[in-house]
A and B are shown apart, each in its own frame.
Chain A
Amino acid sequence: MARPTTPTTEVRRAYVLGGNRIPFARAGGPYVRASNQDMLTAAIDGLVARYGLQGERIGEVAAGAVLKHSKDFNLTREAVLGSALSAETPAYDVQQACATGLETVVSLSNKIRLGQLESAIAGGVDSTSDAPIAVSNRLRRALLDLSRAKTVGQKFAAVAKIRPKDLAPVAPNTGEPRTHLSMGEHQALTTAQWEITQAAQDEVALASHQRLAAAYDSGFFDDLVTPFRGLTRDANLRADSSLEKLAKLKPAFGLGLDTPATMTAGNSTPLSDGASTVLLGSAEWAAAHDLVPLASVIDAEAGAVDFVHGDDGLLMAPAFAVPRLLARNGLTLDDLDYIEIHEAFAATVLTTLAAWESEEFGRTRLGLDGAFGTVDRAKLNVHGSSLAAGHPFAATGGRIIATISKELHRRKVESGSDRPVRALVSVCAAGGLGLTAILEAA
C-alpha cells in the first residue's frame, strides 16, 4: 500500500502573551475627535509600554476596522509607523465585520504555528464618532466622469448630471446591504422565532454589567487596559444597573412584529469607540522576552448562514460553527471551562443557547442525534461582555481574547493540576458571519 504523500507535521503552539486596550467609550463621548488610527496607535503603544517592546521588530501586526475611511487603506501599518515599535515591523489590514479582531488573532497565530512568525500583534479598532461619510453614488460617478473629461463639452456634461439631492452625504448604517434591515431588526426576528423574553435578556445584560464591574473592582483589568483621553473604565458600564431599571426601558427593535417587542437599549450594545490589541508569540520568543504564555490558540472555525432567504437568523452562524469546531477537536460543551459569546445583543446569546438546547435544531439543522448541549451559565462571559463594555466592532475580538487568556492562565495556576483548562470564543458578525475559536490555558 502506498504511503500518504503528505507527511504529518507536528505544528507548534502559538501563545497569547498579553493584551492591551483603551477603555471603550460611547459614541460621541471622550473619543469623539479621535480617529481609528489615533486609537489603534494608542492601544499598540500601551502594549509596547506594558511588555517592553520599544523599538522591537515584531513579526507582523494585523488589525482592522469595520467602519473605515478610504484614506485608511493601510491603517495598521500607519498605526505601527506612529507607534514605538520598530518601523521595520510589517503590518496588514483585515476586515471581517465584527469578527475582524478575532480573525487577526486566528490568522496570526496560525502563522506562528507554521513557523512563519515568532511574534505578532493582533488588533482592531472602530469609531462610530469619526465614521466615514461618503458622497452619493450619482455625485461620485459625475465627479469621476469629470476627472476623466478632456473637452469643455465633456466637463459640462459631467457636471450637468449632478442634481441637488446628489449632494446629500451618505452616512454608514448598520443595515444589511441585501435586506436593508438593521442588525437589531434582524435579531428581533430571531428573538421572536426562539421566543426569548425581555426578562431573560435583561438578566444577561445585568450579569454583564455586574461581572465587568466586579472585574474592574478586583483589579483584573489593571494590566489589560490603559486609560485614554481621561477615560479609565468602559464608559458604558453601569455598575448600579438593576432588573427594575432595565425592565422600564422601552423596546427599540421588533416593534413592527406581531410578537411582543423585547429588545431595548439596555439589552443591546451601544455604538462605541475603542481599540484593542493582543500580543502573540512562540514559546521561544516568549522565553527570550521574559514573557509568560497565558493561553494557546488551539483551533478556529468560521461559519455563515443564509439569512437573506430566511433560512436562519442573521447572527446565528456561531450556532453552526461551534458544533463543527468542537467535533473536530473531540470536545463537547462540558469539556470547556469558559464560554465567551459576544453580546451583540443579549438575545443573540440566548438564541444561540436556545438553538443548542433544541432537539429539533440539533437534528434538522446540525445533523446531530439530538440537542447539541446546554451551556452552564456560570461559565458564560465570566468577566462581562459587550453589553457592559460596549462594542467598537473590530476591537471586540481583541478584548475577549486578552480577557479570557488572562483568566485561563489564572485558573490554571490556581488549580495547580495538569488538567487542560479551555475556553470557547464565539463572535457573530454582519453578513450572516460567525467566527469561533478554542483557547487552552498555558
Chain B
Amino acid sequence: MTATVVLPEVPALGGLFTRGAGLSLARRVRSGPSVLPDVEYLVRGVQASSEHLTEYQHLLGESASDALPAGFVHVLAFPVATALMVRNDFPLPLVGLVHLANRVTQLRPVLLTDVLDVRATATDLRGHRSGTQVDLVTEVSVDGSVAWRGVSTYLARGLFLAGPVEESSDTFVPPTPTGRWKLDGDVGRRYAAVSGDRNPIHLSALSAKLLGFPRAIAHGMYTASRALADVGAGRGDAFAWSVEFVKPVLLPGTVTVRIARSSEDFTFAGWDARSGKPHLTGSVTSLR
C-alpha cells in the first residue's frame, strides 16, 4: 500500500536543490535503489497570491484572468514532486535530470480563490536510449475533485537502471512561422524568480558552464508556457497541453515559432531558424 507523506506546506525549491545536489553526488559515486519508492506526497491548503499570479502572467504573456494559467499551477504544485525526488530512496539524481516532456490535463479552471490540495507520485521508471526516465505525476484538486493533472517526464543520462528502449525519431521540417520569441539573457533568471526553479543551468553563462552547457538555457516550462499563452483563450476551459522538449534554448536566443489552429485544436513548435532544428513541439487539445 502506498504510504502518504503529508508536508505542512509546499517546500521551497532552493532547499530541495541543495539536498538534491548532495544526494546526486552520492548517486553518481555508488548506485542507489533501482525501483521507485511507493509513496505519495501531499500538501493541503495551497493558495496562490495575486501578486505572484500577476508577475507570472506578465512574464509569460498570459491575460490577467483570475483563472490560473495551467503553467502557473505547475509552478505552484511541482515543488511537492521535487520533495519526493530528493528522498534517499529515489533512484535518480536530481542534479542533471533532463526535462524530456510534460503533459498537463486541465479538467476545469483553477481559480485564484481556490484552496488546492497537491499530491505527487513517481511512476513508470523505464529505459531510454541514453539513460533512465521517470514520470512525476502531480495532481491538484479543489474540494476533493481533481482539476489539474501534470505528468513531467525526466531523464537521467548515463544511468541505466532499466533496459534500453528503441525510439523512433521523427524528422522535423520547419513549418511556416507565425511569430518569434526574442529571449534576453535574463529570461532564465526572470522565470526562476516566478517559478522558484533556480537550477544554475538557467541563471548565468558561468553557472551553466560549470554544468556542461555553453550558455544559460531557458527553462523548458517557460517555453511551453509561452506557447500555451500564445494559444490564448482558444484553448477553452478544459484541455490537454502536451509538449516535448527536443533541444535546449541557449540564452540569449531567438526561437522561431508556429502556434496554429488545426481543426478545433492547436499545435505548436519552436525552432532555430538558422539550423532548422526544433527546440520544442506540442499541442493543446480541447477536452470539451
Q: How far is the CA of A308 from the CA of B230 in the complex (A)?
A: 8
In-complex Cβ contact of B261 among A180, A193, A256, A309 (8 A): A309
Measured between beta carbons, the chain B residues less than 8 angstroms from A165 are 186
| A-contacting 9-mer, from B96-104, B114-122, B129-137, B174-182 | B174-182
**Is there an interface contact between B181 and A180, defined as CB atoms closer than 8 Å?**
yes
**Is there an interface contact between A308 and B182, defined as CB atoms closer than 8 Å?**
no
A309-B259, A310-B260 given as contacts; is B234 within 8 A of A189 (CB)? Answer: no
Question: A150 near B: Cβ within 8 Å?
Answer: no
**Is there an interface contact between B176 and A181, defined as CB atoms closer than 8 Å?**
no
Contact flags A295-318 to B (C-beta < 8 A → 1, else 0): 000000000001111110000000
Measured between beta carbons, the chain A residues less than 8 angstroms from B182 are 180
> Nearest chain-A residue to B176 (Cβ)?
A189
Q: How far is the CA of A256 from the CA of B256 in the complex (A)?
A: 10
A179-B179, A308-B232 given as contacts; is B259 within 8 A of A256 (CB)? Answer: no
**Is there an interface contact between B273 and A179, defined as CB atoms closer than 8 Å?**
no
**Is there an interface contact between A311 and B230, defined as CB atoms closer than 8 Å?**
no
Could you say which interface size class chain B belongs to?
Answer: 20 to 34
A256-B273, A310-B258 given as contacts; is B230 within 8 A of A189 (CB)? Answer: no
Contact flags A112-146 to B (C-beta < 8 A → 1, else 0): 00000000000000000000000000000000000
In-complex Cβ contact of A180 among B180, B232, B260, B266 (8 A): B180
Measured between beta carbons, the chain A residues less than 8 angstroms from B261 are 306, 309-311
Measured between beta carbons, the chain B residues less than 8 angstroms from A311 are 260-261
Contact flags A170-185 to B (C-beta < 8 A → 1, else 0): 0000001011110000
**Is there an interface contact between B178 and A310, defined as CB atoms closer than 8 Å?**
yes
In-complex Cβ contact of A308 among B186, B256, B259 (8 A): B259
Q: How far is the CA of A309 from the CA of B176 in the complex (A)?
A: 11
Measured between beta carbons, the chain A residues less than 8 angstroms from B230 are 178, 308
Contact flags B267-278 to A (C-beta < 8 A → 1, else 0): 000000100000
Measured between beta carbons, the chain A residues less than 8 angstroms from B234 are 309
Shortest CB distance A118–B (Å): 43
> Nearest chain-B residue to A258 (Cβ)?
B174
Shortest CB distance A164–B (Å): 12
Q: How far is the CA of A308 from the CA of B232 in the complex (A)?
A: 10
> Nearest chain-A residue to B232 (Cβ)?
A308
> Which chain A residues (304-347) contact chain B, with CB distance < 8 Å?
306-311
Measured between beta carbons, the chain B residues less than 8 angstroms from A189 are 176-177
Measured between beta carbons, the chain B residues less than 8 angstroms from A179 are 178-180
> Nearest chain-B residue to A256 (Cβ)?
B273
Shortest CB distance B62–A (Å): 12
> Nearest chain-A residue to B229 (Cβ)?
A178
> Nearest chain-A residue to B181 (Cβ)?
A180
> Nearest chain-A residue to B175 (Cβ)?
A310
Measured between beta carbons, the chain B residues less than 8 angstroms from A176 are 179
Shortest CB distance A237–B (Å): 34
Q: How far is the CA of A193 from the CA of B175 in the complex (A)?
A: 12
**Is there an interface contact between B273 and A180, defined as CB atoms closer than 8 Å?**
no
**Is there an interface contact between A310 and B180, defined as CB atoms closer than 8 Å?**
no
**Is there an interface contact between B176 and A310, defined as CB atoms closer than 8 Å?**
yes
Measured between beta carbons, the chain A residues less than 8 angstroms from B260 are 309-311
Q: How far is the CA of A311 from the CA of B273 in the complex (A)?
A: 21
Shortest CB distance B211–A (Å): 25
**Is there an interface contact between B179 and A180, defined as CB atoms closer than 8 Å?**
yes
Residue among B177, B181, B186 with the most chain A CB within 10 A?
B177
> Which chain A residues (33-67) contact chain B, with CB distance < 8 Å?
none
Shortest CB distance B149–A (Å): 26
Measured between beta carbons, the chain A residues less than 8 angstroms from B259 are 308-310
**Is there an interface contact between B273 and A308, defined as CB atoms closer than 8 Å?**
no
Measured between beta carbons, the chain A residues less than 8 angstroms from B178 are 179, 307-310
Q: How far is the CA of A256 from the CA of B276 in the complex (A)?
A: 11
Contact flags B84-127 to A (C-beta < 8 A → 1, else 0): 00000000000000000000000000000000000000000000
Residue among B178, B181, B260 with the most chain A CB within 10 A?
B178
| Contacts A/B (CB < 8 Å), 16 sampled | A165-B186, A179-B178, A180-B180, A181-B177, A181-B180, A189-B176, A256-B256, A308-B179, A308-B259, A309-B259, A309-B260, A309-B261, A310-B258, A310-B259, A310-B260, A310-B261
Binding site for A on B (CB under 8 A): 61, 176-182, 186, 230-232, 234, 256, 258-261, 266, 273
> Given known contacts A189-B177, A308-B179, what 11 new A-B pairs fall within 8 Å (CB)?
A165-B186, A178-B61, A179-B178, A179-B179, A180-B182, A193-B176, A307-B178, A308-B230, A308-B232, A309-B259, A310-B258
4 tightest CB-CB pairs across the interface, nearest first? A179-B179, A310-B260, A310-B178, A180-B180
